[in-house]
Structure 1
Amino acid sequence: MQPIPIKTTIVGSWPFPSWLEFASQNLDKFGPADVNEMIEDAVVNAIHDQVAGGLDVITDGEQTRLDFNLSFYGFIKGIQANHEETRKYGPPAHDQRGKHTIVEKLSAPKGLGVLEEYNRLKRLAPEGKILKASIPGPYTLSGRMLPGEIYKDRWEITEALMPLVALELEKLVEAGAQEICIDEPSMSCYAYKEDTKRFVDIFNRTVKGIVGKTRIGTHLCFGNFKGRSIGKKTIAPMLPDFLDMTFDELHTEMCVLNFAEVHLLERFAEKMDVAVGVIDVKSYYIETVEDVKERIQKCLKYVPAEKLAVAPDCGLSQTARWASKLKIESMCKAAAELR
């Protein structure tokens, strides 16, 4: 397939329709058939919004995920919710997301649910769009787990989660997934203080079984829980080690950095394609087409058009649906005009 110059994409998540959020808080009022119908309808809505906005690459909008990590914890055996570790009140922040204590060896006998999401997307999506699946990498997935007496630390938890993620990736490839994004924001958040070579080794071993079989991307952001970052906002510590990660496309935030480090994208573009955040998901200012064109032109100084994709900084699950639709429309129009 010929590369699309200035390809338009999203990270993975799309805002929930309001009725889905209400229904998810009142599931006791619905039967299994009702729930399945709601899931299908929500994915149809997400697909419609993305196609109407003009995106080249679409997802299922992650409509079955109520939390980036914790939704996956429902598929993982060996963990127990630890409510004592969670702050209940005050301004929203990551410490309100909840933690889980590990009580036995981790396993996922029914998989992690991403295969089911992708098969649903494939069945419901129109022809002609590139379909993308997304899944947290093992280091990020370990982020809300406490070792208990089973594992020594986060590194050991990550090693235990790696085969679970790797198996899901292999199943996605078997299902024909065109693009798979392995989200590892914890790596970008902590690149300034942790062993970046160790991060590279973890990532490469996770994707080893699918290299060359599908298009592999990774999303490296600084957090977006309730529209708030948690990491140190700089991509500089990722260099040069992250250049050795085995993926085809890097997705990084840039609006949140006010494009201060856009020149560093040139280093990544020497080895891979680059998807750049040109839409600010943490702001309700609606970018105009001219705003986005200006941002894309900044990127084109360092990334060739055929290697550049444009996207929101992060997932859109924390941005209102009305705003997301307007922002994506501006982004896609800007990309089309610059092509």
Structure 2
Amino acid sequence: MSRILPGPVLPTTVVGSYPVTKSGGISGLLDPFREAVKTAVADQVAAGIDIISDGQVRGDMVGMFTGLIPGIRGSEVIGPVSPAAGPITVADTRYALSRAPLVKGIITGPTTLSFALHIATPSYRSRGELALDLARVLAREAVLLAEAGVSIIQIDEPILSTGAADIATATEGLRLVTGNLSVPVCLHVCGNLSAVIDELVAMPVDILDGEFARSPENLALFREVEIGEKMVGFGCIDSSRPEVEEIDLIRSRIESALTVFAPEQLLVDPDCGLRMLPRESAFSKLSRMVEAVRQIRTEL
């Protein structure tokens, strides 16, 4: 058992998104993404993933949130933002919880959202001000996900690795989103982490999740820092390419991580979301990742 999460050592999970399969017939008219949610959940369960997601199939990581937040129209902020009229991701997450005991709730972070939007209102003088208001809005969604019964809440902040965002503001945004939560909080950041590694390990989260297959240099960065009681989500399959890695390659990547982290410190997942891959490729990647972990567990 890990110190933070229930379940086996080296728990497998996903970063979030899964390829979208559109619904047909009458059910597709009522909810064009209903079958996509079912398929994403079923595939993760069939692949053997320990902590699944709802598949994030209803849109891109920005639009699925900003499209429901008052004060935003399209990609423009036209007034003060306020909480959505109802939950944004909870219904699909509840479905995932009906099919698996451990589910990850996922929220696109306020700093990343602020950089995806054009401020067209005097209500905000800077992206930082907007990000903090978005954080207050997203805090409600985080609480609703926790109340639904998720095992982890993940905040996606890919913008942080670019150096474009103010880290102090991003940190405060994280505190605002997650301050009322009792479940473990994961921060996912894509890309090369060299410019922000020191700041990331100080973030007020329980788990740091990054890409290590496409950015293997990130592992060397973690050799030089102290993460304390935090866990690390170790991205070990390349989510940017449809080619499915061999089990031995995935296993070797995880074994490299185990030279830096104790088994109890690791979650194992893809680098990023799998939304842009063919479904067959995404499923095979997850299945092989699970098999690689199974083999390693037998030797621990």
TM-score using structure 2 length: 0.90
Distance 1:220 1:331 in 2: 20
Distance 2:127 2:289 in 1: 38
Alignment CA distance shift 1:261-1:179 (3 Å): closer
Q: Which residue identity does 2:186 align to in structure 1?
A: G
Deviates more, 1:194-203 or 1:244-253: 194-203
Deviates more, 1:108-117 or 1:240-249: 108-117
Distance 2:148 2:140 in 1: 13
Distance 2:30 2:221 in 1: 45
Q: Which residue of 2 aligns with 1:176?
A: 149
Q: Which residue identity does 1:250 align to in structure 2?
A: L
Query: Which of the pair is proportionally richer in strand?
Result: 1
Query: 1:261, CA displacement in angstroms?
Result: 2.8
State how many pairs are aligned. 291
Q: Which residue identity does 2:16 align to in structure 1?
A: G
Task: Determine which of 108, 124, 140 is the counterpart of 2:83.
Answer: 108
Q: Which residue of 2 aligns with 1:159?
A: 132
Q: Which residue identity does 1:9 align to in structure 2?
A: T
1:55-84, Cα deviation, whole Å (9 max, x unpaired) = 1111111122x2110122221122233xxx
2:160 counterpart SS class: helix
Matched, 1:337 2:295: yes
Q: Do the aligned residues in 1 keep the contact of 2:232 with 2:266 (CA within 8 Å)?
A: yes
Query: 1:255, CA displacement in angstroms?
Result: 1.5
Query: 1:206, CA displacement in angstroms?
Result: 2.2
Q: Which residue of 2 aligns with 1:288?
A: 246
Q: Which residue of 2 aligns with 1:145?
A: 117
Distance 1:35 1:260 in 2: 46
Query: 1:117, CA displacement in angstroms?
Result: 2.4
Query: 1:293, CA displacement in angstroms?
Result: 0.7
Q: Which residue of 2 aligns with 1:312?
A: 270
Matched, 1:39 2:12: no
Q: Which residue of 2 aligns with 1:261?
A: 218
Alignment CA distance shift 1:243-1:215 (3 Å): same
Mapping 1:1-339, distance limit 5 Å: 4-17=8-21, 19-20=22-23, 34-36=28-30, 38-64=32-58, 66-81=59-74, 100-123=75-98, 125-126=99-100, 129-149=101-121, 150-190=123-163, 193-210=164-181, 213-222=182-191, 234-257=192-215, 259-266=216-223, 267=225, 269-339=227-297
Q: Do the aligned residues in 2 keep the contact of 1:80 with 1:101 (CA within 8 Å)?
A: yes
Q: Do the aligned residues in 2 keep the contact of 1:189 with 1:221 (CA within 8 Å)?
A: no
Q: Do the aligned residues in 2 keep the contact of 1:111 with 1:164 (CA within 8 Å)?
A: no
Which runs of 5 or more residues in structure 1 are unaligned? 24-29, 82-99, 223-233
Query: 1:276, CA displacement in angstroms?
Result: 0.9
Alignment CA distance shift 1:170-1:289 (3 Å): same
Q: Do the aligned residues in 2 keep the contact of 1:72 with 1:112 (CA within 8 Å)?
A: no
Query: 1:281, CA displacement in angstroms?
Result: 1.0
Which runs of 5 or more residues in structure 2 are unaligned? none
Q: Which residue identity does 1:168 align to in structure 2?
A: E
1:56 counterpart SS class: coil
% same residue: 27
Q: Do the aligned residues in 2 keep the contact of 1:59 with 1:132 (CA within 8 Å)?
A: yes
Query: 1:303, CA displacement in angstroms?
Result: 0.9
Distance 2:220 2:52 in 1: 28
Alignment CA distance shift 1:308-1:254 (3 Å): same
Alignment CA distance shift 1:203-1:44 (3 Å): same
Q: Do the aligned residues in 1 keep the contact of 2:189 with 2:209 (CA within 8 Å)?
A: yes
1:187 counterpart SS class: helix
Query: 1:337, CA displacement in angstroms?
Result: 0.1
Q: Do the aligned residues in 1 keep the contact of 2:185 with 2:207 (CA within 8 Å)?
A: yes
1:79-125, Cα deviation, whole Å (9 max, x unpaired) = 233xxxxxxxxxxxxxxxxxx222222123414512222223223x1
TM-score using structure 1 length: 0.80
